Amino acid sequence: MNSQVGATDRTSVRRFPEKAVTDRKKVNAILDAGLVAHVSCVVDGQPFVMPVGYARDGDRVLFHGSTASRLFKNLAAGQPCCLTVTLLDGVVLARSAFESSMNYRCVIALGSCEVLEGDEKERVFFEAHIQQLKANPNASKLFEKERRDLELMIAKIQQDVNQLDNNLGFVSRSKSGDAFRKQIEDKINAGKKRISEYKSKIKLLRTNE
């Protein structure tokens, strides 16, 4: 991808073009520093804007939304959209409201979305989340909190797995009992898989600290 942004007729800044940022590294820095983006698209002729948590993954921006939302249904279908991230650096106060202003940095991205599924979604989102944590001035504290939260979730799941494993001893050997045993075993395996995933995340956190 071209290292320069805002170079097309559609994305060029018309008013105060000298304030436009065309260096992709600077654009990425703004995206990495933000936490909330606003995504917009038109649904049945009506424009909608939705705030979303997001993270940058290389040349793409990842964000999460409800599959029941009409906005996200349209985004998942590939409808053209606009994503905006704004960082407020300061408020400029003057004698009059007209002369007052704000200092901010902003990225406006035009394009369309695609849906991430399954393990790829988990992996990509977490790796992007780690990069976002590293860009934060309080990265060490955030990494510690993230790791502690994962350890608590592992302990809770392990407790549930132990309880389910203990319950297996009370399930009778019969046709109906075998079906119930299978349900419990499936829950145990799902819990163990989740624990393994969380442990991998903790390892990834330690590698990037």
> Rounded to whole angstroms, how far apart are CA atoms 151 and 149?
5
* Three-state DSSP class for residue 116: coil
Domain that holds residue 42: 17-115
CA distance to 6, 55, 75, per residue, from 65 (Å): 27, 13, 10
In the structure, what pLDDT confidence band is assigned to residue 86 with cuts at 50, 70 and 90? very high
Q: Answer yes or no: do 147 and 183 share one domain.
A: yes
- Count of the separate structural domains present in the chain: 2
- Phi/psi of residue 23, nearest 5 degrees: -85, 120
Longest dimension (CA), the chain: 84
pLDDT in tens, 120-132: 777 777 887 887 7
pTM: 0.59
CA distance to 67, 139, 150, 168, 174, per residue, from 144 (Å): 31, 9, 10, 36, 48
- Angle, CA 65 vertex, CA 59 and CA 66 arms, to 5°: 150
Average pLDDT of 178-194? 88
pLDDT in tens, 51-67: 998 888 888 888 888 87
User: Does 62 reside within a domain?
Assistant: yes
User: Does 106 reside within a domain?
Assistant: yes
